[in-house]
Structure 1
Amino acid sequence: MSFNFITSLFDLLSLYYIYRALRIAYETWRDRARLGSNPLTPEQQRRAEEAAFFLAIPPGVAVHEFGHALAIWLSGGQVVQFGYRVFWGFVVPTGTFRAAQDWVIAVAGTIGTLIYGLALWLWFRTRRTSSLRFFGLRAMRLHIFYALIYYPVFSAMGLFGDWVTIYNFRATPLLSGMTAVVHAGILLAYWRLSRRGFFEMPHFANVAAQDRLHALQTEAQAQPHDAAAQLRLVQALIQTGTPRQAERALDAFLAQHPDSAAGWLEKATLQAVGKRHIPSQAATSAEKALQMGLSDPHGVRRANYLIGLRYLDMGKPAESLRYLDRAVAVVESEGMEPNPHFHTLYQMRARARRQLRQPQGALADVEKAIALARQVEQTEAVRSYEELREAIRRDAGNPK
């Protein structure tokens, strides 16, 4: 792809981003009183995440390009064109530069981006408003990602950009080699911090939920050998949207209690959270929980459901149906009230039965799924299930 084509594409993309940024800025100002309240709610978290991209990136682009310009001036050159397109930019220099100066000019933008991201975090981390603290944290993470992962990969794929010059080992072997070491070190630290949940903040429905998490953390610290207390903390961390922190706590728990069925079920839940398809590791952990004598009805349902979904993803409807049948049996026995949120369970069993050419059972399940989804006003789910119902009817030769 030519440079002009890519810049034209970026210009179009930037126009769309500018529209989104203006809208987010307006909505943030309009809702500032609600967004500024504590604790951090799921909505505040989502909107702070959006702002970290659409509102924090444009100044970061200016800082990045100014870093290039400053390096050009300090190297004795001049800036003949400073292109700022809000979400991307460029600087065109004039002058005669040595290879080392070319490297300095190229790396100066990245240094500016990293300093800007760090400054945002340092500035907002002490704010009393939790949504501002989360904004600063995510903005820093985003700028590290763009500066040290996205942009280097883009440069490598497009064969132009700052990182082509930064990693020109033929022209600047020592500087490029030093950069590679520092680059790898920062990425390793970034990966380890991400694994530890450094870039996460828990969200809460209300102050009571926040107080509950704090109480569970205090209880877990005071009673490090109390399995129930440790597991309650893990479950709370999962529920408050901090999976990495939950994973650390759970790994420590399983190291002390490797035979805990409930612990392995939470491991399966964590391994599946946020995934479009159930990973094999999650199904294995769920199977291990069942083998270890998982007895809680809700836990048994969850474990069988996860394994059933895994088999359905693998194109093995018969195996899937066996586990989904067990999950449904738990729901419809043990005195368990059919929760309206169980609609996905019936929908998945309908899909398995459809693949096995069991239209009557599939229709019964999808009707149940539609009824349960309507109870919780899941309009999109209802529409999807109705389409599935029509497909099952067509398969059976009865479109009505």
Structure 2
Amino acid sequence: MELIFYGLSLLYAFQAAQLAQRIWRDWSGFRQTPLTRQKMAWVEQGAFLLAIPPSVFVHELFHAIPIWLFGGRVVNCGYGFYWGYVQPDRFFPVAQEWIISLGGTLGSLLFAAVLFGLLYRNQSQSLRYFGYRSLRTLLFYSLIYYPLFTAFTFIGDWRTIYAFGSTPWLSGGTAVAHLATLLLFWQANQRGWFEMVGHKNQSEAAAFEQLAAEWRLNPQNPTTTLNYVDALRRGGAPQQAKRVLTQAIAQNPNLAEAYLQLALIQSSGKRNLPKTAVNNLDKAVQLGLEAPRQRAVAHQLLSQYHLDVGQGQVALRHLDEAIAAITTLNAANSDPLHKAQLYHLRSLAHQRQRQHERARQDAEQAIRLAEATGNEQAIAHYQRELEIVKRHPDLR
């Protein structure tokens, strides 16, 4: 088991060194505003790769301190950056064993609090974001991952912390505090407390600050609210966007775009569209989306869902609606690659319905649209798809 842990730790340590080198090479740029999506990605990785190793060291140290205070000695220990252990020279009374076991988690939590306290007011948005994301990561690993790891592997401190038969009052009190802390953690996460908004450049950051100020002055304005929500979602703060949307829907339950935005948040990062997102998309379509691009996006997502569940005919209807909506856009607002994607999806739907000639026509249209943009990657992808369609016996 130790060899596995050390192997994984070395792999993570190698990745941590690479990340630290990238950040160090661009340290001045990393600290400067704005907080870009690239910097956010580095911070997300660093919240685990760079924050966990010192937390593990403090964790093991806080096991050792009570051992020393109780008159014992540490006869063996191990530190693998992302895991560790401390072995005392003796067995202690159950209450002292409980304190020694709990000490590690208290040390991890103290380290998380100190790191956050040092960074949450830093002038650099990137370092502030590192403080928030590291706090979230360390709380997750200390209060959720490690207890579950102990429960399933029977390795770790939480066997002793929750030894209700030996320390009923201490374990019971810890359980209450543990659950209360988890509830606060969940609420903070749901409210987007650990999130910050990323921007492409300084002008976009300034525009967002102005939009946020306008929303705070007039949160009842649907247009301002929806623009603000869209900026939050695109900037990497989905929980904040969701909270604002919930308030907007409560004030105006017939706001179609609010349900579309909610569905986009619910489907982000998901391989398959959740049923909650499907319901919100259906509601957005029923209420009536005014912008053609929004209608196209809603119908496209619904078509993908119905393709996934094997309802090809329903998917075709949604794709017809999506293509009709995007076709109404003028040349200045049109996105040929988006339209090409819709034709490609409709080609797939036709294949599911065994309408191979129509599938071929849509596949060819997707290529023509991609060629108009000069996007070689898209052209090659759609050409490969067309070759697959052409191989069907009905088209030979």
For this structure pair, what is the TM-score category when the shorter chain's length is used for normalisation?
Answer: over 0.9
Deviations 1:38-63 (A, max 9, x none): 01000010011111111111111111
Instruction: Name the SS for the 2:16 alignment partner.
Output: helix
Q: Of the candidates 107, 110, 116, which is equivalent to residue 112 of structure 1?
A: 107
The AA in structure 2 aligned to 1:195 is Q
List alignment gaps of at least 5 residues for structure 1: 1-5
Structure 2 CA distance for partners of 1:41 and 1:338, relative to 1, 3 Å:
closer
**Which aligned pairs between 1:28-39 and structure 2 lie closer than 5 A?**
28-39=23-34
Q: TM-score, normalised by structure 2?
A: 0.93
The AA in structure 2 aligned to 1:337 is S
1:355 is the counterpart of 2:356: no
Structure 2 CA distance for partners of 1:323 and 1:101, relative to 1, 3 Å:
same
* Residues matched between the structures, number: 393
Between the aligned partners of 2:386 and 2:283, the Cα distance in structure 1 is 34
List alignment gaps of at least 5 residues for structure 2: none
Offset, 1:358:
2.2
Q: TM-score, normalised by structure 1?
A: 0.92
Of 254-263 and 357-366, more deviation after overlay is shown by 357-366
**Which aligned pairs between 1:151-300 and structure 2 lie closer than 5 A?**
151-300=146-295
The AA in structure 1 aligned to 2:355 is Q
The AA in structure 2 aligned to 1:98 is P
1:14 is the counterpart of 2:16: no
Instruction: Name the SS for the 2:299 alignment partner.
Output: helix
Deviations 1:51-95 (A, max 9, x none): 111111111111111111112112221111110111111111112
Of 322-331 and 260-269, more deviation after overlay is shown by 260-269
Q: Of the candidates 326, 341, 350, which is equivalent to residue 331 of structure 1?
A: 326
Offset, 1:378:
7.5
Between the aligned partners of 1:334 and 1:79, the Cα distance in structure 2 is 72
Structure 2 CA distance for partners of 1:157 and 1:366, relative to 1, 3 Å:
farther
Q: Of the candidates 116, 122, 146, which is equivalent to residue 127 of structure 1?
A: 122
Q: What is aligned with 2:81?
A: 86
The AA in structure 1 aligned to 2:243 is R
Q: What is aligned with 1:144?
A: 139
Between the aligned partners of 1:367 and 1:17, the Cα distance in structure 2 is 46
Of 130-139 and 306-315, more deviation after overlay is shown by 306-315
The AA in structure 2 aligned to 1:347 is H
Q: Of the candidates 50, 54, 57, which is equivalent to residue 52 of structure 2?
A: 57
Offset, 1:125:
1.0
Between the aligned partners of 2:118 and 2:37, the Cα distance in structure 1 is 23
Between the aligned partners of 1:371 and 1:70, the Cα distance in structure 2 is 70
Offset, 1:360:
2.8
Paired residues of 1:220 and 1:233 also in contact (CA < 8 A)? yes
Structure 2 CA distance for partners of 1:236 and 1:10, relative to 1, 3 Å:
same
Paired residues of 2:336 and 2:370 also in contact (CA < 8 A)? no
Between the aligned partners of 1:96 and 1:360, the Cα distance in structure 2 is 77
Offset, 1:371:
5.7
Structure 2 CA distance for partners of 1:114 and 1:378, relative to 1, 3 Å:
farther
The AA in structure 1 aligned to 2:343 is Y
Q: Note the aligned Cα RMSD (angstroms).
A: 2.0
Offset, 1:382:
5.8
Between the aligned partners of 1:372 and 1:111, the Cα distance in structure 2 is 59
Structure 2 CA distance for partners of 1:162 and 1:364, relative to 1, 3 Å:
farther
Structure 2 CA distance for partners of 1:338 and 1:12, relative to 1, 3 Å:
same
Identity of aligned residues (%): 38
Between the aligned partners of 1:319 and 1:243, the Cα distance in structure 2 is 30
Between the aligned partners of 1:349 and 1:326, the Cα distance in structure 2 is 11
Structure 2 CA distance for partners of 1:392 and 1:144, relative to 1, 3 Å:
same
